[in-house]
Amino acid sequence: MALETDYVVIGSGVAGLRAAIGLARSGAAVSVLTKDRANESNTEYAQGGVAVVLSDDDNAELHEDDTLVAGAGLCDSRAVEVLVNEGTGYIKELIDWGTEFDREGGKLVFTREAAHSRRRILHAHGDSTGAEFVRSLTARAAVERSINLTPFANTESLIVRDGRCVGVRFLDPILRAPREIFARGVILCTGGAGQLFQHTTNPSVATGDGMAMAYFAGADLADMEFVQFHPTALDLAGAPRFLLSEAMRGEGGKLRNKYGERFMSLYDERLELAPRDIVSRSIVAEMRRTGTRNVFLDMTELDGEFLKGRFPKIYETCMHFGLDISRDALPVSPASHYCMGGIRTDLWGRTTVPGLYAAGEVTCTGVHGANRLASNSLLEGLVFGARSADAALSDESAAPAATSASTADRRGKSAGSISVAVKKRVKRVMWERVGILRDRSSLERAIAEFDQILTGRLDQASRNFVTLGRLVAAGAIWREESRGGHFRLDFPDQHEEFRVHSIQRLDTPIASASQIAF
């Protein structure tokens, strides 16, 4: 039997929780579906903090300028203005809800990260800002009795009737069988797709499900070629690719090669505080120059007690693997971290499919352009999570009656998880052919391999995963230039004709748009 509710939110990170709270405050019944435990999301793993204009020496124009510069000419200025100006109010709201940002003498502590012109980064418990966001938002959501949160409910596809999204098809965690839920509106907050790559800082749930589901439902995707590779992931045999926060370089950490030499001066005058895309490519260049598989992040010039207090989770994790961040140089190399591209939305989270909304990393609002400014992601989730809820509430639509399962989009046999063999193959191809440094030959080979996989009999989750990899590769081969997180060895320069967004939709050649919002 099909279920009915007012609204469905898919995902329980910062965007999903804020959207659910916004919907529930109107009295609406909200079903939140998440494919793992409720607090397992990219938000939970966000270490560095949240960028916000609250310090005395900062202002919205400076934050906006920093974001636009990092975005390499591809930010939508209207989206950036919304983010920066509304973000301050939403952070103050979080503080009112009990979020515990770090303070000294009762005053908020701000730090600096790469490509920021001011110390505007708030952090919580040193390096556990994302976890604190999830804690406080979960506590606030619990106050709203109309929110029903269902963990371990893997969403498989969106239900579209007469061009409108009217619900979702998911695997019921109790019945262990497919089930449908119908609603006035669906908000996708499923996060990014870092797991497409062999080396990633993202948790196992970050497989891009929402992007693929929206694509098969007919929604536009934008800028899929832009993937941010974090420069400093721990690179140690037997250890996970644990993220070593941008804030470590912001506090004075230095990058050194195998000879102990600082090398960033060879690549950028901003040294370790250059934008992430530049630092990542610089590290790759230095590894090639010196014939090594990693470089080193050196924090040893900083006080040990300060490091323990400022980066407690990082300190503890590194100690577990035999490294003392106050004494040892930390082996690091880049890993996939964040998707600038995603579901194309307007400034209120509306997608190109009526009834379907989206917020957070799953989207492409134009905020990040070709390269996300450090610590803007949590702010984006808050601002656009709230905005998507407001839009869903304001758009007039009647709750649909439950219909037969034949209305659901079906592309492959039902399954709850990606085939292990398919996942391993896609991750290898993406890392080797669609990684930090790209060229036409490698991208064509990647697309050919994905097409070959797609000819086989795949379950829906596996088809989603392969299709998403193909979309990233297709965007990368279309963009014959280098900009932000996308670097082509055969087209190493920026070109004005490509100062546009790539738009991909089902069964349609890639198009371009000068702005994201529509």
What is the distance of C-alpha 195 from the center of its chain?
A: 11
What span, in angstroms and rounded, lies between the C-alpha atoms of 405 and 415? Answer: 16
Domain assignment of residue 270, yes or no? yes
State the DSSP code for 9.
E
Query: Is 80 exceeded by the pLDDT of residue 341?
Result: yes
Residue 405 has phi, psi (to 5 degrees) of: -65, -15
Q: Is 236 a member of any domain?
A: yes
Q: Is 148 among the domain residues? A: no
Q: Residue 408's pLDDT is what?
A: 41
Q: Is 445 among the domain residues?
A: no
Total structural domains in the chain?
1
Whole-number Cα distances in Å, 37 to 11, 44, 132, 277: 10, 11, 16, 32
Q: 369 in a domain, yes or no? A: no
- Non-local (6+) Cβ contacts of 101 within 8 A are 95, 108, 109, 122, 123, 124, 129, 132
Cα–Cα distance, 317 to 323 (Å, whole number) = 9
Q: Sorting pLDDT into bands at 50, 70 and 90, what band is 400?
A: low
Tokens of 353: 């499919």
* The predicted structure's pLDDT at residue 516: 76
What is the CATH classification number for the domain harbouring 288?
3.90.700.10
What range does the domain containing 278 cover? 231-334
pLDDT of residue 304: 95
For residue 411, pLDDT over 60 is answered with no
Query: What pLDDT, on the 0 to 100 scale, is given for residue 485?
Result: 94
**pLDDT tens column, 111-141:** 887 788 999 999 998 778 888 999 999 999 9
293 is catalytic: no
Indicate whether 43 pLDDT > 80. Answer: no
Give me the catalytic one of 18, 179, 184, 276: 276
Residue 319 lies in a domain: yes
Instruction: Tell me the two tokens of residue 334.
Output: 């880049």
For residue 390, pLDDT over 70 is answered with yes
Q: What are phi and psi of 508, to 5 degrees?
A: -135, 140
What's residue 406's pLDDT?
37
Average pLDDT over residues 274-300: 94
Provide the pLDDT confidence category of residue 48 given band limits of 50, 70 and 90.
Answer: low
200-239 in b/e burial notation, b at 16+ Cβ within 10 A?
bbbbebbbbbbbbbbbbbbbbbbbbbbbbbbbbbbbbeeb
3-state secondary structure 255-324: EECCCCCECHHHCCCCHHHCCHHHHHHHHHHHHHHHCCCCEEEECCCCCHHHHHHHCHHHHHHHHHCCCC
- Asked whether residue 70 is domain-assigned, the answer is no
Q: Give residue 42's pLDDT.
A: 55
- Whole-model pTM: value is 0.92
Is position 177 within any domain? no
Q: List, for residues 159-176, the tens digit of each pLDDT value.
A: 999 999 999 999 988 888
3 state DSSP class of 341? coil
Is the pLDDT assigned to residue 417 strictly greater than 90? no
